[in-house]
Amino acid sequence: MPEFADFLEIQTRTAWGKTLLGFAEWSLSAGKRISLALDIGTGPGLLPALLATRGNLQAIGLDTDYNLLRAAPASIPVTLGCAAALPFPAASFDLLTATNVIFLLGNPLHALGECRRILKPGGSLCLLNPSEHLSISSATALADARGLTGKNRESLLGWAARAEKHGGWTEAHARNLHTLAGFQLEETLLRVGPGFARFTRASIP
Ligand SMILES: C[S@@+](CC[C@H](N)C(=O)[O-])C[C@H]1O[C@@H](n2cnc3c(N)ncnc32)[C@H](O)[C@@H]1O
């Protein structure tokens, strides 16, 4: 397991790490009091680590992949679990996050319903999903314009391929999904290049 400071330093050197840092700061910027956060589909736990350090709060990571969780720093609590059956009682968390996860799921509404159950009244659900602007051709154009090579190029084009397969989120799609799951969409914005990532913030009406 890596040392916490090394983990943060190494992980936020990558383009994706910088995106997650921006997302963490945005998630904490709504001015709400947050004591406990859960990041769903956390991978190696970078987002809960960023939330914990930036927000002075406790943040837990959850993922279905044990091997990814093993790479998380020791000070970040992580748990094995699935978005479709979150292993927590109702109204447990002040903040729920999921980056690059919900759009991949066969039944995103089911996962959002679970989020609705475990979010405290007054809490926030902050998601990052690819937007309608991310496609293999738009990602290739950005990679060429920025001279991206190697892993950076591969990961951008891989993300674009997954967005084409599963569908990027328009504002209307995000609003509809949140409404069906019992949330109210409060804010959405586009980030990453020409707006490849859609950030959404929602609450319980
Ligand atoms: C594209 S990765 C994103 C990882 C991380 N959130 C990030 O932005 O770097 C998707 C993650 O979601 C996890 N995942 C996929 N299906 C899941 C599910 N049903 N419940 C929880 N995690 C899931 C995968 O194991 C993987 O770690």
Instruction: Pick the more confident residue, 32 or 143.
Output: 143
Ligand 1 pocket by Cβ (under 6 Å): 40-43, 63-65, 68, 82-84, 99-101, 104-105
Is the pLDDT at 147 greater than 70? The verdict is yes
Separation between Cα atoms, residue 127 and residue 66, nearest integer Å: 22
For the chain, give me the number of helices (H) and strands (E)?
8, 7
**Which pLDDT band holds residue 1 (cuts at 50, 70, 90)?**
low
- The residues that bridge with 116 in the sheet, in sequence order, are none
- Global pTM? 0.97
Separation between Cα atoms, residue 185 and residue 204, nearest integer Å: 9
Separation between Cα atoms, residue 165 and residue 35, nearest integer Å: 36
Structural domains in the chain, CATH included, are 4-132+167-203 (3.40.50.150)
In three-state secondary structure terms, 99 is strand
Q: For ligand 1, pick from 23, 63, 115 the residue to mutate: most ligand atoms within 8 Å of CB.
A: 63
